[in-house]
Amino acid sequence: MTTSKRSFIRMAGALAVAATGAPALIGVASARTAPAAARRGSYLIRNGAVITVDRATGVLPRADVWVRDGVIEKVGPGLRAPGAEVIDATDMIVMPGFVNSHYHMWSAIGRSFTAREGGFSYYPAKGATSVLYSAEDFYNSVLLGCAELASGGTTTVHNWSHNTRSPAHADAELRAHRQALLRARYAYGHVDQMPADEVNRYQDLPRVQREWFGERSPLDGLVHLGLNLRGPQQSTDAVFHEEMKFAKASGLPVAIHAPQEAPNNVDALDYERRGYLGPDFMIAHYVPATPADLAAMARTKTPLTFATHSELRLSSTGDARAALFAMRAAGLTISLSSDATSIAPPDMFEMMRFTWNLGVPWTGTPSEKAQAVGVQEVIEMATINGARAMGLADVTGSLTEGKRADIILVRTRDLNMWPVGNIETAIVQGGTGSNVDTVLVDGRILKRNGRLTAYNLAQIRQRAQASATRIRAAAGDKLVF
């Protein structure tokens, strides 16, 4: 181990202890940080500029939103809601919470495991550390990720768990979800670096379904179960098709990665013939998709998650801008996602802005005569499209009467937002997570007056630091930082 590496580990360990005066390593049982009281109530969100993301209602320059028992009761100006607690949204934008449709939350604490020198090293860093995560580390990582999401206005996340190392690891992630109170899909997966010719039998899945998603589920209906498969990117074709037989028989929604490095061996046209495609089959990173692939996805209403930063940073199979325009032209439901923290933060404001700036027609290419991506479009990608991709469009993604109350309030008097012209443009061009004042998920307030109220942040930070420090130390010379 190099001298600089030893120094870093000593420094990080000292920070972990200094944060609370506690030892760096803490057991999973003691890490069950109880949130502050977050109960559903009756709220009248008054006098906000409301982006409903409901095309029948549109944008309301000044309106109210009445929430009762977790449901959006009414949206409109001058509402009366006797007995409701008033939340003053003057000089705020009220909109649905964001939906992140693809996030590997087990590695949220690995946001800076990549090398400072020698170029970008996401895959080597993941390969060097994925085997070192304990169940405690998974809990600490997922809870950190959820708190960050909530703070930035994301109320629904697809936890794409592609390193499900043991039953204890799965339980740890689900305990974190129970604590976090976000809406989510937990996509149960494989062990990272599993041999490509070995079939994942999902032996623990029946227990997870029974204990976490059965009649006595402790998740209060906020989390639903899915599967993620390695796909032909990380397994042989024969193994992938064998695993798909199991997935189809399970009735659970499925997600796979398309390759970001050559060759492209995901064949959507073939998957359509086999009956794989459909609203419950999500594909990530499909930058190299052919027109025939995209047409098959469009015919079957197969959702696509577009991790804008990752497609640009990692994909060597095609151009992300060209792919984005081809996906739009095919009529796909495109949702936005962050992939992994070693690539980009799970910041939906940044993702919207980046995608909006990317979506400019390119002279001399097939996109030359296309319409530029607009601010309304990227807001839909960040909200209702993500809800559709996760099978939750009837539940969340827009401020529609009868849906669940997943709502954020964004301050506009902050210097980076003021003055406001077009309301949707203000969100996309100027907004950041620091402007998020209030967050409700399922009618519960998780953030208010700019402060997270449902989490013990000191403990979350300390435990995340302890896990990261231990993993880095265990990786030794396999990591350079």
- What is the tens place of the pLDDT at every residue in 7-28? 433 444 443 333 333 333 333 3
Q: How far apart are the first and last CA of the chain?
A: 11
- Does the global pTM surpass 0.95? no
Task: State the pLDDT at residue 7.
Answer: 40
Dihedral sign for Cα 128, 134, 139, 143, please.
negative
DSSP string, 337-404: --B-TTT----HHHHHHHHHHH-S--TTSTTTTSPPPPHHHHHHHHTHHHHHHTT-TTTSSS--TTSB
DSSP state letter for 292 = H
Contact 300, 277 (CB under 8 A): yes
Task: State the pLDDT at residue 118.
Answer: 53
Q: How far apart are CA 24 and CA 30, in angstroms?
A: 13
Question: Does 223 have pLDDT greater than 50?
Answer: yes
- What is the tens place of the pLDDT at every residue in 156-203? 999 999 999 999 999 999 999 999 999 999 999 999 999 999 999 999
Label residue 383 by pLDDT band (50, 70, 90).
very high
Query: How many other C-beta atoms can be found within 10 angstroms of the C-beta atom of residue 361?
Result: 15
What b/e string do you get for 410-433 counting C-beta neighbours within 10 Å, with b at 16 or more? bbbebeebeebeebbbbbbbbbbb
List the domains of the chain with CATH numbers. Answer: 42-97+397-449 (2.30.40.10), 98-389 (3.20.20.140)
The larger pLDDT score, comparing residue 67 to residue 364, is at 67
DSSP string, 138-151: HHHHHHHHHHHHHH
Query: How many other C-beta atoms can be found within 10 angstroms of the C-beta atom of residue 132?
Result: 16
Reduced 3-state DSSP string for 247-263:
HHHHCCCEEEECCCCCC
Residue 327's identity, in one-letter code, is: M
